[in-house]
Amino acid sequence: MKIIAFFLTCLMYFSLHMAEAQSKKTMAALQQLTTSEFMVTFDSLANVVEGTGRMAKNNSDVYDPEVLNELQAAYNTSVQRFNNVLLNMKADLLDPNKVKAMTIDPQVYSDSYKYRLNEASSNYEKTFLTLLQTANAEEGQDIDGVFTLATVMAIIEGTYQLFKLIRQIRNEIKQFNDEQITQHFVVPHQILTWEEL
């Protein structure tokens, strides 16, 4: 009986040790994703978007209430488009078929995300920035919130690098769960809405 208890204890110990080792590998892979060139550049873009939104919100007393509502709606729509890129990536990382597709041809997958990011960027510039520039021109103020070409190009290059990284860590990605990706990949990098600024 003591021998059986000893073996069960050993089995539990080794099982816990293996689970802990796998968890460390999974977290290391997640850390690689969150510190990738793509995420660093996405965070830079987020800082520009949030900074411009914060500046508009802080100056809200100088805008007509109707213009302020339009600014808020345009900002939130733009932010939602950027954040949807992260949410789509999260969904794809949790889908084994999508992960397989990413690893087979990272360039094709990268191109689809480049398109989504360009679309989000274009929406931000054409809606929120245009409204803000018009509102500030009426008040005689200048704005800063336009992405530089270098930032957009860095995001585009970072997208391909991100999917190449996914190819390298595909085994660990299979261990990701919704909570981990949300907590480490999505939430820290999401762009704040108007209400959160």
> Model confidence over 32-89: pLDDT tens digits?
988 988 888 889 889 889 999 999 999 889 899 999 999 999 999 999 999 999 999 9
3-state secondary structure of 55: helix
What local confidence, expressed as pLDDT, does residue 6 receive? 55
Instruction: Please give the Cα distance from 87 to 93 (Å, whole number).
Output: 10
pTM: 0.83
75 CB neighbour count, 10 Å cutoff:
27
Instruction: Please give the Cα distance from 76 to 82 (Å, whole number).
Output: 10
Instruction: Please give the Cα distance from 189 to 182 (Å, whole number).
Output: 10
